Amino acid sequence: MKIGSLPVVAMEQYQANKVRTRKTDTVPMGKDSVELSGAARLFETALAAAKEAPEVRMDKVASVSAQVAAGTYKIDASAIAAKMLAGIGR
């Protein structure tokens, strides 16, 4: 048997089993519609507000920078640890 050529029996089987397409009546399609849930609308509003907010809150940066410069900036390690541990439980 040559590589690349099919025996006559295989070709006959292929022709017998080949799927034939048939025409179907066309049915007019309805219009698609989408309804957003209340949660999706709320998320969309929150996302729009977040996109409008500045990426860096300069008032916070200025406040922390002034505290660091004055030597009065204190880090509450227990509050940070509590928030980290609260996030683990999710």
pLDDT for residue 89 is more than 80:
no
Domain limits, the chain: 58-90
Tell me if 67 sits within 8 A of 61, measured CB to CB: no
Residues 35-51 pLDDT 10s: 889 999 999 999 999 89
> Model-level pTM greater than 0.75?
no
pLDDT for residue 72 is more than 90:
yes
Distance CA 64, CA 58 (A): 10
Top pLDDT among 86 and 22 is at 86
Tokens 């505290």 sit on residue? 67
